[in-house]
Every structure is written in structure tokens, then in C-alpha cells.
Amino acid sequence: MNTLDLLIECPAWAGCDLDALAPRAVAATLRHLDLDLDRCEVSLLACDDARIATLNADFRGKPTPTNVLSWPAQPLAPPAPGQAPPPPEQGFDGMIELGDIALSHDTCVREARESGLPVKAHLTHLIVHGTLHLLGFDHITDADAALMQGLEVEILGNLGLDDPYNGEHTARAPL
């Protein structure tokens, strides 16, 4: 993968091995969708609940912490619910700018513990989830959620991780 710009803003991330985990999760997602890893660019901010609550308030009008946020660089949308969005376009330099992701350590770790999931597995899932959002996938409708969650399960399976939905796909994925 050409560029994963990782900014670790919160010291609590030190034990999470995000330097290895994030590129692996993003690359697995891009590979699964047949995108050229050497041309794709993603930025990832590893922050805490206070920072992500500010971002959530500023960009979504929700002044509360969340696990992951994403800001796609291109407005990719599926032609109809349950269909895949078009692939992202290359810029003039041949690069594909996908966008930005933010993860909150506090919320991610709390969710993993509450769910009985290994923290690294949950983080990997949320990075895959955020990357899919950058590529135009969403979970607003049940059809879109089924497509997105199916991709998440396949990608995580390719990484040797269990289905985070335990075989029961819910109508909504984590934000």
C-alpha cells in the first residue's frame, strides 16, 4: 500500500500495535475490492473519546463519542440500495485519494471488552468498516447493511478473524 498516513494522537494506543494492524486491515479491504494498493491513500487518526466526540459534533451534529468516523474523499454512492458503489477514480497523478478515518481508543476498547472480543479483532473490524465507508458502502438501508456486513465478514475471514456478527447479521453495523 502506497500511503497510510497514521496519526496516533492518544498515548493509550501504545499497546494496540496499530502500526501493523491498520495497514493490514486497510490493505485487506482494498485487495478484496480489487483496488491497486500502491495507488490508494488513506489517513487514520487514532484518538480518544474527547477528540472523537468533538469531531462527531462538528461533522455529524452528534456531540457524543463513537467508535469510528469516516470522511470519504469522493462521493461514491451505489446506484440502488444493496448494490455496490462505483470504484473510486484516480486523480491526475494516478493516485486514488480515499479519505480519512478516525478511531477512538476509549470506545473501541470498551466495546471489545463488553462484547468479549479480542481488542485487536474489534479494531481490525472497525478499520475495515471505516475503509468500506470511504469506498461508498453504507448501512442506512437493510439491503446496504447486508452487503456491507457481508463484505466485512469476508474480509475479516480472509484475515483469519471470526464473524463479528456471530452469523447473525443485524440491520445496522457499528458507526
Q: Which residues are annotated as a binding site for Zn(2+)?
A: 129, 133, 139
Question: Rounded CA gap, 157 and 163, in Å?
Answer: 7
- Residues in contact with 154: Cβ distance below 8 Å, sequence separation at least 6, in sequence order: 32
Question: Rounded CA gap, 45 and 134, in Å?
Answer: 14
Element of type H or E holding 44: strand 40-47
What are residue 72's DSSP bridge partners? Answer: 99
Residues placed in the known binding site: 129, 133, 139
**Spatial contact of 33 and 152, defined as CB atoms under 8 Å apart:** no
**Spatial contact of 37 and 30, defined as CB atoms under 8 Å apart:** yes
